Amino acid sequence: MDVIGCNLIGGECSCEGDVPFFAQNPATVEPLPPEFREATANEVDRALLAAERAFRSYAYSSPQRRAAFLRAIADEIVGLGAALIDRANAETALPHARLEGERVRTIAQLRLFADYIEEGSWVAARIDTGDTGRHPIPKPDLRRMLIPLGPVVVFGASNFPLAFSAAGGDTASALAAGCSVVFKAHPAHPGTCEMTARAIQRAARSADVPSGVFSLLHGWSHAVGLSLVRHPLTQAVGFTGSLRGGRALFDAAAARAVPIPVYAEMGSINPVFLLPSAAAEHADAIVHGLAGAVTMGVGQFCTNPGVVVGVRGEAFDRVADLLAERISATDAGVMLYEQLAFGYTSAVTRARALGAEVLTSAALTETPPRARATLLRVDASHFVADATLRDEMFGPVSVLVVANDVAEMELVAMAMEGQLTATIHGTPAELIEHARLVHLLERKVGRLLFNGYPTGVEVGHAMQHGGPFPAASDSRSTSVGTAAITRFARPLCYQNFPQASLPLPLGDENELGIWRLVNGAMSRDAIS
Amino acid sequence: MDVIGCNLIGGECSCEGDVPFFAQNPATVEPLPPEFREATANEVDRALLAAERAFRSYAYSSPQRRAAFLRAIADEIVGLGAALIDRANAETALPHARLEGERVRTIAQLRLFADYIEEGSWVAARIDTGDTGRHPIPKPDLRRMLIPLGPVVVFGASNFPLAFSAAGGDTASALAAGCSVVFKAHPAHPGTCEMTARAIQRAARSADVPSGVFSLLHGWSHAVGLSLVRHPLTQAVGFTGSLRGGRALFDAAAARAVPIPVYAEMGSINPVFLLPSAAAEHADAIVHGLAGAVTMGVGQFCTNPGVVVGVRGEAFDRVADLLAERISATDAGVMLYEQLAFGYTSAVTRARALGAEVLTSAALTETPPRARATLLRVDASHFVADATLRDEMFGPVSVLVVANDVAEMELVAMAMEGQLTATIHGTPAELIEHARLVHLLERKVGRLLFNGYPTGVEVGHAMQHGGPFPAASDSRSTSVGTAAITRFARPLCYQNFPQASLPLPLGDENELGIWRLVNGAMSRDAIS
């Protein structure tokens, strides 16, 4: 299947623009055909008008139809076969095995959302039945449920060309909720996005949902993204990427005449805290786990453990030595695009200039787009005092932070900005002993791990992928797992509505058999 | 009980400031003793430090303790007796009977939140149990629940000196969630706020919760409010008031280095649509209902029906005549404070200048703080074309909008900005026939009523009080009812945590007996 290089608006190819760009093969830094064109202002407008038109019927489609659509997308992606993986590999330098795993996850999450909306309780129906005889005023019949927000804009992430891209988590949860999607492709993998978008459009045809429910727009500059966020028809934004990019979109959305929610998943350094027993008793296992988590995928995960905090002494020194050895032995890798590797190199150089000690050999001897994994070390007092040392360095690097004791580890935790995750290694008894550290970290993170590694974000019901700013722009939401569906929904209450005009989830009969809060009690029963 | 005129920070009186102000008796426009002082920057800082310190223990207090605290607040407010009502009446000119009703509601909602958190399922626990044997990688044990955000700032509303003030909805839901509260008193009823705040502090002592869990700050200018929103320890903001005020707070919060959520409930004109049968067959009843809703409390409800849309013809003319007669016969009333009445007069004057026809006699002959109810009329085409006619006019006024047919009513609905409510009058058959109007309104509102009046916001589980901007700054949230608790909470996920370190709602045993989503199924069972 060929990549043509066009925007896809309401099922049709559109190439109005005259600003060309190419994807690049990161390994060779050579352009990859075909030529793509930045979407024009008119194309942005057409995509959102198509999304608005589609929303008006799609929002009222049955959960069964939407579930069939999501499953059809999954099937169409499977149907793309090796061609999709080959193109993604050419555009991102991510290995085939990794991309195949990512495809499995992408398909699984589409199907998970299909199951979730077919079950149907996600609308959080609440019913307070009325009482016309109540004095002094009758009690109204109130029925409340979540409804989809409208057309939403989703930005593809560079580091997950499948799972956080055209048919990724945000698209899946938005389509599941009943929203239409205008998708802004990441310019580092536009061909992968186009192939996926065509799969979504075929699925829309086969599931008989309106073609405007999904459009794909390309753009190399920031202009396309900003005009999507500023468009009056846009009702919410999903984004995964840098703090700078996410903040710019957040600011643009907040400055609108009608502000809209922005779910930006941004930077995180995912601190790992080694309580005394961990370094002393499990150094080998922890080094093995950390080395894998730091270097896997050339460190290009938002959950990369960028900081490891331990207590000064022989045990932590041994962890440092072993980890430096393991990381030094890791082959250099090609990053997703050249600029990322330049950014990585300059971030590590800056940390060194600020006094971080380099523990790995041969650091920074690679020329972008290649990057070599690095291990740094600083004292906790220094790390606490200099906020720049706490900035995310996107790539295969971690900073060992040496604290004098657990009390100083707590100061490190307090100094942290919001994080996607924090991890504690130790014994269950230590976790109880150091409950204060746990409580400090609970204030800072979306997910708290014990004796694990933050990479590997499980897609399920109980996942939370997000966290206090700047990990995410909205700590109340997750971008992974079924709970993500609520980011694209809001409650609507019907007062004294006739049964025939109520949405199915709110009818007395509870035809869908969903869980509802009826007069304060959870129930799947009909109301008699 | 005397009103002293001071800020209350962590249980102590504080009067550092040198900018004095007085409450005013709206009826006489005379100052009411005592003198109050604007809170200083230092007092803002001290209040938030006290709130932060209190939060660190209060967030981990048991639901039983928090419920006891909420009930103690209710009891202490009851204990204030007639003195509270007298002071509120002196400060707001709201009649005793209305204030007594508002006290009933305030107490009821505190007790409702107490029951709600004692039941406990609001934390929305989700558990995906692990599988260490899964290939290729073990499945982690994930447990997710809502936790309180931290210290929050709540602004009192002028029009509900009890139910949306010091111990009002936002304070109740924040304290229920486990947040500490710094409350900014509305300068129009500072004495009522002080009395209520002292009741809260007595309740804190008797329920043994830290005194910093609630502080009261006064301020006449915007400076105090803005510095509260900008304070780095503030984690969220609740506000009820004007669009201008709410937008200023929203903008300040969005511009922070770390943005925070702002729940501002702002302007709404709460359109009422009369389908053909309604005006033809139920004119008398509708006129009775509308006249009450428009003039009650001198029209000072955010759910005041500010617009009534009908179809041109004899039936709607009759509604106009009868309603004009009823409204003309309504005595002028004293508004909450002088500026509101000036604002009301100038808004109605502007609408007239824009071509609205005045149907009531003796309009605008009153001198502020008194205001006389007014009925206006414009053609739908005019109303659709001029956005200024759709601005909220806070006070006892409604605009009859004359459409040529139901199709033109739909254009009116489309032109509407976001609203707290919309109401449709007609038969169930008409509701089905005009489903397109219903669908248009669903996009615009938080609550949709059939054959009713939007005033009278029921406090329960299924209420939604909020709506798309500018009705509210965050359409995903409600400021009334138990669902409001989630505005002050965010999810946190524990991965592979030992049972002994998990919060009670997430433990295998489900000691609290709450509803949880366990491996995708709702259950109150323990996990074996």
List, in sequence order, the alpha helices (H) in A155-301. Answer: 169-177, 190-206, 223-230, 243-254, 276-281, 283-295
Residue B8 domain flag: no
Please give the Cα distance from B376 to A315 (Å, whole number). Answer: 81
Cβ of A475 under 8 Å from any chain B Cβ? yes
How many folded domains does chain A comprise? 2
Pick the more confident residue, B528 or A476.
A476
Distances (CA, A) of A379 to A179, A309, A344, A394, B521: 49, 10, 22, 21, 47
Q: Parallel, antiparallel, or unpaired: how do β-strands B445-450 and B357-358 relate? A: unpaired
B275 and B239 fall within a common domain: no
Please give the Cα distance from B184 to B253 (Å, whole number). Answer: 16
Task: Please give the sequence-ordered ranges of beta strands (E in DSSP) within A84-231, or none if there are none.
Answer: 126-128, 142-148, 152-155, 181-184, 214-217
Residue B222 DSSP one-character state: S
Domain-ending residue, one of A401, A435, A450: A450
Distances (CA, A) of A263 to A172, A173, A237, A250, A443: 15, 12, 6, 8, 19
ipTM here: 0.98
Domain housing B354: 271-450
For residue A34, give the H/E element and its range.
strand A30-37
Q: How confident is the model at residue B421 (pLDDT cuts 50, 70, 90)?
A: very high
Residue B441 domain flag: yes
A81 and A157 fall within a common domain: yes
Comparing CA positions, the residue from A125, A147, A163, A161 lying closest to residue A235 is: A147
B280 and B226 fall within a common domain: no
Distances (CA, A) of B170 to A20, B236, B496: 52, 11, 35
The answer to whether the Cβ–Cβ distance between A462 and B142 falls below 8 Å is yes
Q: Could you please report the per-residue DSSP string of A314-351?
A: HHHHHHHHHHHHHHHTSPPEE-SSHHHHHHHHHHHHHH
Q: Which residue of A has its CA nearest to B60?
A: A439
Size of interface A-B (CB pairs under 8 A): 202
A335 and A376 fall within a common domain: yes
pLDDT in tens, B276-307: 999 999 999 999 999 999 999 999 999 999 99
Instruction: Compare CB distances from A461 to B121, B490, B520 and report the shortest one's residue.
Output: B520
Q: Identify all chain A residues contacting B475, using CB atoms and an 8 Å cutoff.
A: 149, 490
Q: Tokens 């524990």 label which residue?
A: B494
A-contacting residues in B 165-194 (Cβ below 8 Å): none
The answer to whether the Cβ–Cβ distance between A517 and B254 falls below 8 Å is no
- At A249 the pLDDT is 98
Pair B489, B177: CB distance under 8 Å: yes
B160 and B245 fall within a common domain: yes
B223 and B361 fall within a common domain: no
The token pair that represents B120 in the structure block? 């406990």
Cβ of B501 under 8 Å from any chain A Cβ? yes
Cβ of A527 under 8 Å from any chain B Cβ? no
Residue B94 domain flag: yes
Which of A144, A152, A244, A496 is the best mutation test for B, with the most CBs of B within 10 A? A144
Q: Identify all chain A residues contacting B468, using CB atoms and an 8 Å cutoff.
A: 258, 490
Q: What is the mean predicted confidence (pLDDT) over B485-506?
A: 98
Please give the Cα distance from A356 to A361 (Å, whole number). Answer: 14
Distance of CA B441 to the CA centre of its chain: 21
A295 and A253 fall within a common domain: no
Q: What is the mean predicted confidence (pLDDT) over B98-119?
A: 98
Q: What is the mean predicted confidence (pLDDT) over B497-505?
A: 98
The predicted model scores a pTM of 0.98
A277 and A245 fall within a common domain: no
Cβ of B515 under 8 Å from any chain A Cβ? yes
- At B136 the pLDDT is 86
B-contacting residues in A 118-147 (Cβ below 8 Å): 119, 121, 126-128, 137, 139-140, 142-144, 147
Q: What are phi and psi of B499, to 5 degrees?
A: -50, -40
- At A366 the pLDDT is 84
Instruction: Compare CB distances from A462 to B60, B128, B461 and report the shortest one's residue.
Output: B128
The answer to whether the Cβ–Cβ distance between B490 and A476 falls below 8 Å is yes
Q: Which amino acid is located at A230 in the chain?
A: R
The answer to whether the Cβ–Cβ distance between B462 and A497 falls below 8 Å is no
Q: Identify all chain A residues contacting B470, using CB atoms and an 8 Å cutoff.
A: 258
CATH number at residue A99: 3.40.605.10
Which of B262, B424, B438, B495 is the best mutation test for A, with the most CBs of A within 10 A? B495
Question: A203: exposed, middle or buried (C-beta count within 10 Å: 0-12, 13-18, 19+)?
Answer: buried
pLDDT in tens, B346-383: 999 999 999 999 999 865 678 889 999 999 999 999 99
Instruction: Compare CB distances from B464 to A438, A442, A491 and report the shortest one's residue.
Output: A491
CATH number at residue A354: 3.40.309.10
Cβ of B108 under 8 Å from any chain A Cβ? no
> What's the length of chain B?
528
B200 and B344 fall within a common domain: no
Cβ of B478 under 8 Å from any chain A Cβ? yes
Listed in sequence order, the residues at least 6 apart from A368 whose beta carbon sits closer than 8 Å to its beta carbon are A335, A338, A341, A342, A344, A345
Please give the Cα distance from B57 to A320 (Å, whole number). Answer: 36
Q: Which residue of B has its CA nearest to A130?
A: B458
Residue A321 domain flag: yes
Q: Identify all chain A residues contacting B476, using CB atoms and an 8 Å cutoff.
A: 261, 486, 489-491
Which of B492, B502, B516, B517 is the best mutation test for A, with the most CBs of A within 10 A? B492
Residues of B recognised as catalytic: 265, 302
Q: Identify all chain A residues contacting B446, using CB atoms and an 8 Å cutoff.
A: 491-493
- At A363 the pLDDT is 58
Residue B496 domain flag: no
Please give the Cα distance from B56 to B50 (Å, whole number). Answer: 10
B341 and B402 fall within a common domain: yes
B261 and B312 fall within a common domain: no
Instruction: Compare CB distances from B142 to A56, A460, A475 and report the shortest one's residue.
Output: A460
Which of A104, A132, A492, A502 is the best mutation test for B, with the most CBs of B within 10 A? A492
The answer to whether the Cβ–Cβ distance between A497 and B450 falls below 8 Å is yes
Chain A nearest CA to B186, separation (Å): 26
Chain B nearest CA to A318, separation (Å): 26
List, in sequence order, the alpha helices (H) in B3-160. Answer: 41-58, 63-92, 96-119
Spans in chain A with pLDDT lower than 50: none
For chain B, what is the mean pLDDT? 96
Pair B258, B294: CB distance under 8 Å: no
Chain B nearest CA to A148, separation (Å): 9
Comparing CA positions, the residue from A515, A489, A521 lying closest to residue A125 is: A515
Residue B177 domain flag: yes
Residue A4 domain flag: no
B-contacting residues in A 240-299 (Cβ below 8 Å): 250-251, 254-255, 258-259, 261
Instruction: Compare CB distances from B462 to A443, A493, A522 and report the shortest one's residue.
Output: A493
Q: Tokens 């300068």 label which residue?
A: B187
**Other Cβ atoms within 10 Å of A318 Cβ, number:** 15
A260 and A275 fall within a common domain: no
Cβ of B415 under 8 Å from any chain A Cβ? no
> What's the length of chain A?
528
The answer to whether the Cβ–Cβ distance between B469 and A259 falls below 8 Å is yes
Residue B27 domain flag: no
Produce one character per residue of A265-274: b if its CB has 16 or more CB atoms within 10 Å, e if not: bbbbbbbbbb
Cβ of B463 under 8 Å from any chain A Cβ? yes
Q: Identify all chain A residues contacting B466, using CB atoms and an 8 Å cutoff.
A: 491
Number of H helices, E strands in chain B: 15, 23
3-state secondary structure of A423: strand
In chain B, what percentage of residues exceed pLDDT 70?
Answer: 99
Instruction: Compare CB distances from B492 to A258, A428, A448 and report the shortest one's residue.
Output: A448
Please give the Cα distance from B102 to B99 (Å, whole number). Answer: 5
Please give the Cα distance from B170 to B481 (Å, whole number). Answer: 10
Q: Parallel, antiparallel, or unpaired: how do β-strands A307-311 and A397-403 relate? A: parallel
pLDDT in tens, B48-70: 999 999 999 999 999 999 999 99
